[in-house]
Amino acid sequence: MTRQLHLNLFIHGRGHHEAAWRHPAASPLALTDIDYYTDLARKAEAACFDSVFLADTLAAGDDIASAPRTWLEPITTLAALAGVTSRIGLIATCSTTYTEPFNLARQFASLDHITRGRVGWNIVTTWLATASGNFGGQGPLGHAERYERAEEYMRVVKGLWDSWADDAVVDDRAAGRYAAAGAVRPINHAGPRYQVTGPLNVPRGPQGRPVFVQAGSSETGRQFAARHAEAVFTAQMEKATAKDFYADLKRLAAAQGRSPSQILILPGLSPVIGSTEAEAHRISRELNDLSDPEVGRKRLSGRFGGHDFSHLPLDRPLSPEDFPDPALVEAARSRTEVIVGLVRREKPTLRQLLGYMAGARGHFVTAGAPEQIADLIEDWFHDGAADGFNLMPPVLPAMLEIFAAEVVPLLRRRGLFRSEYTGMMLREHYGLSRPDAALPQ
């Protein structure tokens, strides 16, 4: 079979555009209503998407009065979605900085059973500085420390998921034997940050481990992804940087002795789709007219670890000197590089930059007719920029519905995307092998 495209639906608020929650085409349901998520997951499943994904931040924004930044917690939400879907993969974000590894391993092993092998874990170190105020109050950890901690964390959780052999549970009622002798073992991890005895108290899930998804793009983030990630989300503002990122990550994974086919690169794509290009641009303008530059200014400040941008006028062209050096930012470093790179290239005013960021927070935004969106997807897919896309519809559910009805059939006609699922598990949708059940010695 020819190489197939992968599609993940990133569910975020009532859509990825900052003003989506106010747009007439957005869902009338509350963001706390499970029916909203059920509807989206079912629609994505009907279109044969590989997966849906929920992000997670660990603090309410300080602009909650004018921007919804809170919705349901991902793990519990995905558990609910497990019961109303049967094939689509379900990916939840969970933080290595603020979750005990035993809890996380147990929840994801449970989810893998509950979903019958459809769960993925978006591994994040939590860049948001204000999250630390909700967890012990010791202040935010630096970028390097977060990734070092995450590295040890991965050893612990992998050990826990592997602490049960695949066939450990014999459940032999007649003989009175539940688990095979020696098939469940402690891990006895004693590292600088974690001491975990194990074994896990949940048997190994159908996929062995959840599919590992990761989204850090800094130098350290890429090295981490090359070692652990099986799918990588990334924010790229243009095809050229997406190609560089793609080539770099495949190379780094190969240098770790991994097959490049076992690490999928899925850039974010936020398409405003109209029946004509002119209509798509009209919808874009409507969305931009609804957004508030002061909400955007606060969000920009958060990206740069709380840096104060309040003195910058909205209508003067920006220069890189208006921003802190991305290399010194302790928050989401790669996103700050994307933003400063755009400023260096295009010298937008702050208003223009905020307008662009309002689209999808620094991910690739485009507006066009279905044919144009399909062309773009095919071009990136065939030209070494993507193995698929993290679809970020600007307005939900409207732009997902249009994508499924108008773009997906074009992708199928071009032989790029499945018409039905061939496997049951997320690993199968993504073409990933199952990890060996290597019990610790």
Ligand X SMILES: Cc1cc2nc3c(=O)[nH]c(=O)nc-3n(C[C@H](O)[C@H](O)[C@H](O)COP(=O)(O)O)c2cc1C
Under the rule (CB under 6 A), what is the footprint of ligand X?
A: 55-57, 93, 124-128, 143, 215-218, 220-221, 233-235, 268, 332-335, 390
Amino acid at 190: A
137 token code pair: 């109050």
CB of 163 or CB of 390, closer to ligand X: 390
- Of the chain, the end-to-end C-alpha distance in Å amounts to 40
Amino acid at 267: P
CB of 269 or CB of 273, closer to ligand X: 269
Rounded to an integer, what distance in angstroms lies between the CA atom of residue 16 and that of residue 114? 29
Q: Is the N-terminal amide bond of 101 cis, ω within 30° of 0?
A: no
Rounded to an integer, what distance in angstroms lies between the CA atom of residue 42 and that of residue 283? 25
Min separation Cβ 228 and ligand X, Å: 13
Rounded to an integer, what distance in angstroms lies between the CA atom of residue 69 and that of residue 67? 6
CB of 64 or CB of 144, closer to ligand X: 144
Min separation Cβ 222 and ligand X, Å: 7
Min separation Cβ 252 and ligand X, Å: 13
Min separation Cβ 107 and ligand X, Å: 16
Query: Coil, strand, or helix at residue 259?
Result: coil
CB of 126 or CB of 241, closer to ligand X: 126
Residue nearest to ligand X (CB): 221
Min separation Cβ 88 and ligand X, Å: 18
Rounded to an integer, what distance in angstroms lies between the CA atom of residue 72 and that of residue 34? 8
CB of 126 or CB of 284, closer to ligand X: 126
Min separation Cβ 168 and ligand X, Å: 33
Query: Coil, strand, or helix at residue 286?
Result: helix
Rounded to an integer, what distance in angstroms lies between the CA atom of residue 307 and that of residue 270? 27
Alpha carbons within 13 A on the beta-carbon side of 358: 25
CB of 56 or CB of 428, closer to ligand X: 56
Task: Tell me which residue has tokens 């006895």.
Answer: 188
Four-point Cα dihedral 317, 320, 322, 328, nearest 10? 160
CB of 165 or CB of 339, closer to ligand X: 339
Min separation Cβ 254 and ligand X, Å: 20
355 token code pair: 């307008």
